[in-house]
Amino acid sequence: MDDLLVFIINNYNYWVALILLLTGLYGMISKNNLLKKVISMSIFQSAIILFYVSIGAKKDATIPIIEHGHNSHGADHAVIDVANYVNPLPHVLMLTAIVVGVATLGVALALIQKINQVHNTIEEDEILRDLQE
Amino acid sequence: MIQNQLPILIIAIPLFCAFFISLSMGKNKTGVYLLLITAMFGSFIASCMTLLQVINSNSPIHYHLGGWQPPFGIELVIDHLSGMVLVLISTIALLTAIYSFHPVRKDISDRAHHYYALFCLLISGLLGMTATGDAFNLYVLLEISALASYALLASSVLAASRGLAYFATFKYLIMGTIGACFYLLGVGYLYIKTGSLNMADLSGLLNSDILLQSVTIKVGFILMIIGVWIKMAFFPLHGWLPNAYSYASTTTSSLIAPLMTKVSVYIMIRLMFSIFSVEYVFHTLPYHQVVIWMACAAIIFGSVSALSQHNLKRMLCYIIVAEVGYMVGGVWLANESGLTGAVYHIFADGMMTLCLFMAAGAFIFKTDRESIHEMTNIFRRMPVTAVVFLVGGFSIIGIPPTCGFFSKWYLITGAIEGGQWLFVASLLFSSLINCIILFRIIEIGYFPKFDSERSTSNEKAVKTNEVPLTMLVPMVITACSLIVIGLYTNEIISVLIRWTIPAGL
Amino acid sequence: MKLLAFLMTFSVGVLLLIASLDLPDWSNPESPASTHLSPHYIEKSLEETSVPNLVTSVLADYRGYDTMFETVVIFCAGITVLIMLRRTFMGIEKYVKPRPKRESADIILQSAVRLLVPVMQVFALYVVAHGHHSPGGGFQGGVIFGASFILLAIAYDLKVELKKFREHGVLIFSVVGVLIYAGIGIVCLLLGGNFLAYAAWAKMLGISELEAHSLGMLGVEIGVAITVMAIMFSLYADLSSSGDLDEGL
């Protein structure tokens, strides 16, 4: 029992990401309103971003900016302790993923506006009925 | 010096072309068209030269972007397989670019420069996806080509589509995002267990027993493969494809239909054999039998649905769903002939689909009709288009001089070697159905209707009314290339495909 | 549909739960992610690129190729929205949005915005320029700059804003930004280095290779900021007026 509890607590970042991810996935498939689908899509992407960023975390470490880095231009800088700084790579990757998310969101909203102009509704079942006619 | 820089030029030329086309603000339409063709030709030459380099030196080319050593920087890796796919993509892009002059004027006249800019972005995204050696970079490029293809698919103003393209594209967007996010999540699992993103580095790290047994890596692999399956419209996940492609404009469907699915299949092969290994995919994970059943289902479902369609483009879309089944099944047969067949089929099917969609596009361009029942007298009205369509159709069925025969030959040999009789049966079944489909079209197009009175009067009235030369030339080149590829099968396999077979298969 | 969604979510959930059995503990300094690549970035970045902000150096230098395509993604989204919305659709009559009559101008809001916008824009430039030493960079700065235009468009009205920042201008800015980024890369190639290897600039500018790295990064960050600024505003303008570029919201 204790093992399980320790396991759950040690990975709580993962549970948060998991719950958000499943919420988003469920919404993307089941929601009838296209706007809600897009909102779910954003939640889904945010969950993945959260998952990645939490990979980079490290105990007792600070943000990945070298202290007093700008005084020593490369040559005679102090020794850098790796344990003091978190992993910068996931942050970089997620900056990219955020941008991709924004781009997809913009395109999805434009498509919804167009769908609304053509079908006069953004409810999926009404659109499908409209398509069958 | 230029020799060393060729790999990046393949991707950079279409990219810069997109920027310059956007800057032109659509002032000079013919100029934009010529710029596009020049850029696609440049990219084509660069990719051919790179492939020649790879063949001559018989070792993959590594290009370090920013001069950083991998795994710290990103690298491009061009080996026999990716070189071949690069040539395929740039060939299709060049032919479609030439073909696009009149259809784009007709379909999207006022925004043609935006359309062409997105065309270039799509091509450079696909080329980049093929060349990259970095798992995360692949995701970024996947999203570029996806975004560009949403735009191209939704930009249709064909009278027949009545604005339905938007809803179809929206569904594609939702499915595409799920696919890309699954891939990203899978990469995340690999990263959390290994700490690397470079494909070669990952493959080295994954060679240890502890990691091979790790469930996290297994789930990562499954998520990545499912993500790519969604992108390639593999059977239970294919729902978005027929609608999205059949409502698109002529140029868009002849560009995207041959390219997107084939590049996704290439990525699947890359993931399976460049990051993971034959040993891992076929022996550690006990799933390849299930995948072959799914492939059989895809082939049968695709063929039967194609038979039931009356809309020409929709019918071709379901044929694509079946063809994806061929390739996935061939790869997962887990023997040399199967993989040879699948890789050869990427090449052959790209050209076949291009041929069919171009011919169908030409027919729709001229008549504005999409139903196959409107194809009466097609051999009289548009003889060249009809012959091109016929060659493409023969290739899909697999009639000997065309390349479709040889890919099917290898796939069936592989299936017999692996004892997958269901796969053999569904391949033959699909050929049979394709036969019926094609001969139905020949019947409609060649033989006059039984009603003799009307047909005689029709025959006199029908005049040859072919599409313009810019559309005819690429169509004829594609049709000829189908036969040429078929005739040189042995050379292609011994020079190129033999080297793509991973060790241990 | 609900049942299907539930089944799919459930199976994905089970799959991800299984994956959790073998995860390294959260924020463990010994996890592979923190021991394989990241020590190199942390230790060598200052030596190799002379930029103390590791996120900037990895973003714009080690993985600069990724970031270039990221900027292209934004650019692509901008054109996508343009091609979809800025066009009258054939055969379907134009959809007319019911517009409430605009109230007379709100003087408090407008004066506040007038005061706020210059500050925002200066701060955006600071964020771009100081990205090497503190949190910030091209994307962040570009978004703040774009937000200042959006704020103006909300407080006044889209038409007033578009008189200052025309649509053609927006498009040219968005292309110029990516062109700066890719151009810096291609010039490296002409100067004898690999694509985006900023060290190649050193000889031409007469500076050390370290400074060339730092300067190259600043250059691409400026390019990113310009594109992001232009596209953010363009997305807002097109989406808020469904492509008509009239008064907007």
**CA-based nearest distance C6→chain A, Å:** 7
Q: Compute CA distances B265 → B105, B231, C103, C177, whole Å.
A: 32, 9, 57, 34
The amino acid that residue B450 corresponds to is F
Mean pLDDT, all residues of chain B: 86
Contacts of B265 (CB under 8 A, 6+ apart): B232, B324, B327, B328, B331, B342, B346
- pLDDT for residue B266: 93
On average, the pLDDT of chain A sits at 84
C129–B contact, CB cutoff 8 A: no
As given in the structure block, the two tokens for residue B358 are: 């171009």
Question: Does the predicted TM-score (pTM) go above 0.80?
Answer: yes
Looking at the DSSP bridge assignments, the partners of residue B134 are B198
Of B346-360, B488-502, C145-159, give the range with the top mean pLDDT: B346-360
d(CA B264, CA A100): 19
pLDDT of residue A68: 67
**What pLDDT was estimated at residue C89?**
42
Q: What is the DSSP letter of B195?
A: -
Judged by CB atoms within 8 Å, which residues 179-208 of B form the interface with A? 181, 184-185, 188, 191-192, 197
The span from the first CA to the last CA of chain B, in angstroms, equals: 38
CA A70/CA C50 separation, integer angstroms: 8
- Give CA angle at B64 (B58, B66), nearest 5°: 160
Kindly report the number of other CB atoms within 10 A of residue B405's CB atom.
18
Of the candidates C20, C24, C66, which has its C-beta nearest B137's C-beta? C66
Q: Which residue has the higher pLDDT, B425 or B371?
A: B425
What pLDDT does residue A71 have? 54
Chain B residue numbers with beta carbons less than 8 Å from the beta carbon of C234 are none
Element (H, E) at B12: helix B2-23
- Taking CA–CA distances from C70, the nearest residue in chain A reads A96
CB A104 within 8 A of CB B177: yes
The residues, ordered by sequence, that sit 6+ positions from B141 with a Cβ below 8 Å of its Cβ are B125, B126, B128, B129, B132, C69
Mean pLDDT over C142-166 rounds to: 85
Q: Which residues of C touch B195 (CB under 8 A)?
A: 31-38
Helix (H) or strand (E) holding B155: none
B403-442 tens-digit pLDDT: 888 889 999 999 998 888 998 999 999 999 999 988 888 8
Residue B312, pLDDT > 90, answer no
Residues 2-31 of C with CB under 8 A from B: 15-16, 18-24, 31
Give the Cβ contact number of residue A8 at 10 Å.
12
CA distance A88 to A57: 9
Considering only CA atoms, give the Rg of chain B: 22
Amino acid of residue B108: I
* The predicted structure's pLDDT at residue B491: 85
pLDDT band at C99; cut points 50, 70, 90: low
Integer CA distances (angstroms), A54 to A91, B192, B194, C215, in order: 9, 10, 15, 31
User: Rounded to 5 degrees, what are φ and ψ at A57?
Assistant: -65, 150
Q: If you ran DSSP here, which 8-state letter would residue B423 be given? A: H
Is pLDDT at B237 greater than 70 in this prediction?
yes
Across B203-221, average pLDDT: 84
Cβ partners under 8 Å of residue B172, min gap 6: B150, B153, B240, B241, B244
pLDDT digits (tens, 9 = 90+) for B50-93: 999 888 888 888 999 888 888 888 999 998 899 999 999 999 99
Q: What one-letter code names the amino acid at B57?
A: S
* Number of Cβ within a 10 Å radius of residue B383: 12
Per-residue model confidence (pLDDT) at position B57: 87
Average pLDDT of the residues in C49-54: 84
- Please, which chains are in contact with B (at least 3 CB pairs closer than 8 A)? A, C
Q: Residue B137: pLDDT above 90? A: yes
Q: Do C186 and B137 touch (CB under 8 A)?
A: no
What pLDDT was estimated at residue C87? 59
**Chain B residues within 8 A of A89 when measuring between CB atoms:** 197
Write the CB contacts of B279 (distance below 8 Å, at least 6 apart in sequence).
Answer: B504
Residues 6+ apart with CB under 8 A from B419: none
> What whole-number distance in Å separates Cα of residue B155 and Cα of residue B148?
11
Residue B105 identity: R
Please give the DSSP secondary-structure letter assigned to residue C58.
I
- What was the pLDDT predicted at C227? 93
H or E element that contains B76 = strand B75-78
Answer yes or no: are the C-beta atoms of B245 and B99 closer than 8 Å: no
Chain A: closest CA distance from residue C107 (Å): 32
- Yes or no, beta carbons of C182 and B72 under 8 Å apart: no
Lowest mean pLDDT among B280-294, B451-465, C21-35: B451-465
Q: How confident is the model at residue C92 (pLDDT cuts 50, 70, 90)?
A: very low
Nearest by CB: C24 against B74, B147, B192:
B192
The closest CB to that of A99, out of C1, C70, C81, belongs to: C70
The answer to whether residue B37 scores a pLDDT higher than 50 is yes
pLDDT of residue B161: 56
The pLDDT value recorded for residue C100 is: 57
Indicate whether C8 pLDDT > 70: yes
Which candidate from B114, B216, B222 shows the least CB-CB separation from C79?
B114
Say yes or no to pLDDT of B120 above 80. Answer: yes
pLDDT of residue C90: 41
CB A31 within 8 A of CB C14: no
CA torsion through residues C31, C33, C37, C39, sign: negative
Contact C186, C195 (CB under 8 A): yes
Is C96 at the interface with chain A, CB within 8 A?
no
Q: What are the tens digits of pLDDT across the range C181-227?
A: 999 988 888 888 888 888 888 888 888 888 888 888 899 999 999 99
Partners of C4 on chain A (C-beta within 8 Å) are: 29-30
Under DSSP, the state recorded for B449 is P
The CA-atom distances, in angstroms, between C112 and each of C165, C190, C248 are 20, 49, 20
Convert C163-215 into a string of H (helix), E (strand) and C (coil). HHCCHHHHHHHHHHHHHHHHHHHHHHHHCCCCCCCHHHHHHHHCCCHHHHHHH
Q: What is the pLDDT of residue C93?
A: 41
Mean pLDDT of B230-252: 85
Token pair for C67? 């970031």
- Would you state the pLDDT for residue A74? 46
How many C-alpha atoms does B487 have within 13 Å on its Cβ side?
5
Considering only B357-371, B445-459, C21-35, C201-215, which range has the smallest mean pLDDT?
B445-459
Kindly write down the DSSP assignment for every residue of B357-376, as one continuous string.
HHHHHHHHHHH---BGGG-T
CA angle A120, A123, A129 (to 5 degrees): 75
Residues facing B76 on adjacent strands: B63, B132
Tell me the pLDDT tens digit for each residue of A9-49: 878 888 888 999 999 999 988 888 999 999 999 999 999 99
Could you give the CA distance from residue A92 to residue C70 in angstroms, rounded to a whole number? 11
- Mean pLDDT confidence for C114-125: 93
